Amino acid sequence: MTESTFPDSTRGPADRRDDPGPFDIIGDVHGCAAELEQLLGRLGYGVHWSGEPGAVRVSVTAPAGRRAIFVGDLVDRGPRSPDVLRIVMAMVANGTAFAVPGNHDVKFVRWLEGKTVAMTHGLDRTAAQFEGEPKSFRVAVRAFFKELPIYLWLDGGRLAVAHAGIKGGMLGQNTGEVRRFCLYGETSGETDKFGLPIRYHWAAEYRGETSVVYGHTPVPAPGWVNNTICVDTGCCFGGKLSALRWPEREVVSVTAEGVYTVPVRPFGHPPLRPGAML
């Protein structure tokens, strides 16, 4: 995915430091609707489908006082991106969830807008799944993503959520550099032998007091690195879909029902940035 796909597709940050939660922060869903329903159930949410094929509706209830937060990358690679969007859009609309965009979501929106994008990294599957969807749904999906904040800052400043992470000094800012980091993390601008962008392990250098919860890089299991935790456990690759409960700091995971996309790069944090100061 090239960074040229990042323009003005999302809003600035959402300063919700006055909101203490509690929250259930959910990693990259990537079209895995069955696992999302299962995870939401484990967390105490109720997902209720109604309507006919072609006019499906969903409503979601939350456990008392709790809200979900999606770290982005709702689409691509998995079998049911439209249903994932239906669930998350219903939750954001009724106040039971917040969400931030991922790099896949931004690229998908550009495809929805008819712009020229490479049909790679699972976007081809999402496009095929949208063939049967009405224009009204496409319009609603685009509007949904356009309204999302680039990152969330929560709970008295103790918690931040961004798709690929955020560095301490970036909190409160909304520059192009910050927005690019939130979507893509620390990259070198080059691609590796798998054709994927080279990433660096920014979290290893993190020294901030704000806990940062992010996704983007599939890891075998969520674990704290300094004051950060990655909750992308590669569900679409046959791994798990995971949530971090905040402030409890408990991880809840469900196992993928299948391998929807064969991973080309092994799970795990990327290498340190050359010259990283630890």
Q: How far is the C-alpha of 60 from the C-alpha of 115, rounded, in Å?
A: 33
> Which positions touch Mn ion (CB under 5 A)?
28, 73
User: Which structure tokens are listed for 258?
Assistant: 């299948």
Burial of 121 (0-12, 13-18, 19+ CB in 10 A): middle
CB of 236 to Mn ion, least distance (A): 8
Q: How far is the C-alpha of 268 from the C-alpha of 233, rounded, in Å?
A: 9
User: Of 68 and 230, which CB lies nearer to Mn ion in the complex structure?
Assistant: 230
Handedness of CA 36, 260, 105, 126 (dihedral sign): negative
User: Of 91 and 106, which CB lies nearer to Mn ion in the complex structure?
Assistant: 106
User: Of 17 and 104, which CB lies nearer to Mn ion in the complex structure?
Assistant: 104
CB of 188 to Mn ion, least distance (A): 18
User: Of 28 and 155, which CB lies nearer to Mn ion in the complex structure?
Assistant: 28
How many Cβ atoms are within 10 Å of 139's Cβ, its own excluded?
11
Instruction: Quote the radius of gyration of the chain (alpha carbons, Å).
Output: 17
User: Which structure tokens are listed for 203?
Assistant: 């979290």
CB of 232 to Mn ion, least distance (A): 6
Nearest to residue 157, comparing CAs of 26, 21, 15?
15
CB of 185 to Mn ion, least distance (A): 11
User: Of 28 and 83, which CB lies nearer to Mn ion in the complex structure?
Assistant: 28
Nearest to residue 111, comparing CAs of 90, 125, 132?
125
Nearest to residue 13, comparing CAs of 145, 178, 151, 176?
151
CB of 82 to Mn ion, least distance (A): 18
- Give ∠ CA 272-227-89 in degrees, rounded to 5: 100
User: Of 127 and 157, which CB lies nearer to Mn ion in the complex structure?
Assistant: 127
- Look-up of token digits 């609603």: 140
CB of 235 to Mn ion, least distance (A): 10
- Give ∠ CA 79-61-157 in degrees, rounded to 5: 90
CB of 107 to Mn ion, least distance (A): 11
Amino acid at 127: A
User: Of 28 and 37, which CB lies nearer to Mn ion in the complex structure?
Assistant: 28
